Amino acid sequence: NEKGEEIAVEGEGFLARAISHEMDHLDGVLFEDKVIRYIDVKKED
């Protein structure tokens, strides 16, 4: 919280994924850090 006190939050399904995603941002973790396999797809004209 705004006072720096620890809080506990629980979630399931999409809410849990959203919370995890936002916590990753706070921890400096990017999507590309979690990617197991990356395929470079370029749009052809």
pLDDT tens per residue, range 1-45? 899 899 998 999 999 999 999 999 999 998 888 888 877 777 666
Alpha-carbon span 4 to 22, nearest angstrom: 17
pTM of this prediction exceeds 0.75 = no
Which residues are designated catalytic?
Answer: 22
Alpha-carbon span 45 to 42, nearest angstrom: 10
Model pLDDT, residue 28 = 93
Model pLDDT, residue 32 = 83
Model pLDDT, residue 11 = 93
Structural domain including 28 reads 1-44
- Alpha carbon of 37 to those of 2, 3, 11, 15: distances in Å? 38, 40, 28, 25
Looking at the structure of the chain, the number of domains it has is 1
